[in-house]
Amino acid sequence: MDTELLSEDISKRGRLLRGPVYCYGRLALILALIMWIVLDPALRHVGQLAIPLSLLFNHLAFQFRWSKPVMITLRALAFFWLIFVVPALIFRWHF
């Protein structure tokens, strides 16, 4: 009986996290962060956009439903960004 209640609770949380308020709200926050970095002269540096763009690509690839070719392209872009660009920027910043 406790197991059933636990699985129902987990199922409800999963639906809440994938709800439209979460998906579009987080997308709006990510886009606002990107706009702030682009428009603020003190932050205008290519390296400053690496993490927000990574958040954007991953959010678009995994939180929304797309057609098959678009989904594959977005997930490949998110994977490429995480594997190659972010470590390169981190390596450049620290050394």
C-alpha–C-alpha distance, residues 60 and 81, integer Å: 13
C-alpha–C-alpha distance, residues 78 and 51, integer Å: 11
Would you state the structure tokens that stand for residue 12, as one six-digit string? 């409800």
Per-residue pLDDT of the chain (95 residues; tens, 9 = 90+): 455 555 555 555 555 566 888 889 999 999 999 998 888 887 766 667 878 888 899 999 988 889 999 999 999 999 988 888 878 777 776 55
pTM of the model: 0.69
